[in-house]
Amino acid sequence: MKLEKSDLKDNVTIEISGSKSISNRLLILSHLFENTIMIENLSNSQDTQLLQEALSSDAEIIDIHHAGTAMRFLTSYFALQEGRITVLTGSERMKERPIGSLVDALRHLGADITYVEKEGFPPLKIIGKRLDKSSVSIPANISSQFISSLLLVGSKLENGLEIDLEGKITSRPYLEMTLKILRSIGIGTQWEGQIIKIFPNIQSEKNSQIIKCITESDWSSASYYYSLAAIGRKSINLKSFRPYSLQGDSDLKEIYWNFFGVNTISQGSESKISLLPESSFIFPEKIYLNMNDCPDIAQTLCVTATALQIPFEITGLETLKVKETDRLVALKNELFKIGCISEITDDSIFSLKFFEPNSQISIETYNDHRMAMSFAPFCLIKELTIENKDVVEKSYPQFWEDLEKVLEKN
C-alpha cells in the first residue's frame, strides 16, 4: 500500500466497528451459556470471525491462524466440553507463542491437555471433561489473556473459581474488562489484592432469559486517528464511542491530551467523540510513560512522537515480545526507517536521536496488523509504502478505506 504525502481533512466522521476484545469475550460467554446472550455491534475483525467459526464448528481440528485471543480463550472453552476431542492449532507464528502457563493452570484444575508438537506451545490436544478443582495460581506478568481465559469459564465450574495472581499484574484493565462483562450478565466476581474469585452460575428459568449486550467500538482502532489528529492538527470525529469505556486503551484520551494536546469531547446523545487538537499546545521536552495498562497502543504513540520529533521513553512493554511478532524489535527496526534511532530492553523502548529519513520509506509489517496501522499516519510527514497491507484484516478490515476518507493529497 503506497501512501502519498497527504494533509489531514478537517472534521471528517469515521465509524469503527465493535471492540474485538469485548466481542471475543461475549462470544465465548454466549456459547458457554447456550446462546442466551444477544450481541449487537459485533467486531468485524478477522480474529472475531475466526473465533465465531471455531465456536460453531464440530470439527476435531480447529485452526485459528494468527488469532492469539482465540487460541487462549478456546483452550479453556474446549477443556470444559465434556467428551469432545479438539486439536487446537494455528499459524507457524502461533506455534511459537508460549501457552504453557495457561495449560499448567488448566491441568491443575483437572483439564486433559497435551502438546502435539513442542512442549509449552500450540498445537494442543484437548479432551473435554468436568474440571473438579476450584482454585489455581498463575503468573500475572505474562499475558492477561491467560487469566481472562480462566475467568470466562470460571462460573461454569461447580464451585466457581479462585485465581491467585503471582507477581506483577500486567494489562490490568483487560482483566477489569472481563470482570465487568461477567457482572453485566449476572455472574458474581470479587477482586481483592492478588486474588480474583468467580462465583458459580446457578442456572434457573429466571436467569436464562436473553441478555442483550451492545459492544462499544474499539479504542485500539481509535488510536490511529488520535495519531493523525496529533500530527495533522485537525479534528476527527469517531462514532459509537462511549465517554466511559470498559477498554484499557481508552487511556488514549489522557495520553494524547497530556503529550500531544489532542482533546477528546464526548457527545453522548450521538455516541460520538471529537478529537480536537489544541492550537496553542506546548509539546513536552520528553515523554516518560509506563504503558503496562495499554501496551497495544505503544507502537502508535512511538510513531506519533517520532513524527513530531518528541523524545520518548516508554516502559511496561514486556508483553509486546510475545505478540504477533516481537513488537519491540519490529518497532525499533521500522522507527529507524522514519528517522528515529531507538534502543530497546525486555520491557521498554526509548529514542536516542531523530534524523531526516530517506525519501524511499517501506515499512515491513511482520504479519502484525498494528505495525501496518500505527505507521500509516506518518504519511502526513512523508510518502511511504506499507508492505503486506492485508494484515489489517486481523482487527480492522476497513482501515485503508477509512484512512482514505480523512486524507487529501497535498
Q: What pLDDT does residue 359 have?
A: 85
pLDDT digits (tens, 9 = 90+) for 327-338: 899 999 999 999
Give CA–CA dist 357/371, Å, rounded.
18
The fraction of the chain above a pLDDT of 70, given in percent, is 96
pLDDT digits (tens, 9 = 90+) for 47-81: 999 999 999 999 999 999 988 899 999 999 999 99
How is domain 20-214 classified at the CATH fold level? UDP-n-acetylglucosamine1-carboxyvinyl-transferase; Chain (3.65.10)
Q: What pLDDT does residue 269 have?
A: 66
pLDDT band at 208 (very low <50, low <70, confident <90, very high): low
| Distances 392 to 9, 20, 299, 361, 376 between C-alpha atoms, Å | 22, 13, 15, 19, 11
Is the pLDDT score of 385 beyond 90? yes
pLDDT band at 34 (very low <50, low <70, confident <90, very high): confident
Give CA–CA dist 1/78, Å, rounded.
39
How far does Cα 285 stand from its chain's mean position?
29
pLDDT digits (tens, 9 = 90+) for 285-310: 999 999 988 888 999 999 999 999 99
Mean pLDDT of 127-152: 94
Mean pLDDT of 205-226: 83
Which residues belong to the active site?
A: 296
Q: What pLDDT does residue 271 have?
A: 79
pLDDT band at 205 (very low <50, low <70, confident <90, very high): very low
The DSSP secondary structure of 149-211, one letter per residue, reads: HHHHHHTTSTT-EEEEEESSPPSHHHHHHHHHHHHHTT--EEEETTEEEEPPP---STT-S-E
How far does Cα 140 stand from its chain's mean position?
17
Is the pLDDT score of 196 beyond 50? yes
pLDDT band at 207 (very low <50, low <70, confident <90, very high): low
Q: What pLDDT does residue 173 have?
A: 86
Is the pLDDT score of 176 beyond 90? yes
What kind and span of H or E run contains 253?
Answer: helix 252-260
pLDDT digits (tens, 9 = 90+) for 178-190: 999 999 999 999 9
Pinpoint the residues of the chain covered by CATH 3.65.10.10: 2-17+216-409, 20-214
pLDDT band at 115 (very low <50, low <70, confident <90, very high): very high
Q: What pLDDT does residue 204 have?
A: 41
pLDDT digits (tens, 9 = 90+) for 264-285: 998 866 778 999 999 999 999 9
Which cell goes with 229? 489528529
Q: What pLDDT does residue 43 have?
A: 92
pLDDT digits (tens, 9 = 90+) for 72-110: 999 999 999 999 999 999 999 899 999 999 999 999 999
Output the average pLDDT for the chain. 92
Is the pLDDT score of 324 beyond 70? no
Mean pLDDT of 350-359: 94
350 Rama sector, left if φ>0, alpha if ψ -120 to 50, beta otherwise: beta
Q: What pLDDT does residue 318 have?
A: 87
- Judged by average pLDDT, the poorest of 60-64, 162-166, 246-250 is 246-250
Q: What pLDDT does residue 358 have?
A: 85
How far does Cα 77 stand from its chain's mean position?
20
Count, in order, helices (H) and strands (E) of the chain: 12, 23
Domain spanning 2-17+216-409 has what CATH number? 3.65.10.10
Q: What pLDDT does residue 66 have?
A: 86
How far does Cα 43 stand from its chain's mean position?
12
The DSSP secondary structure of 65-104, one letter per residue, reads: TT-HHHHHHHHHHHHTSTT-EEEEE--TTGGGS--HHHHH
The fraction of the chain above a pLDDT of 90, given in percent, is 78
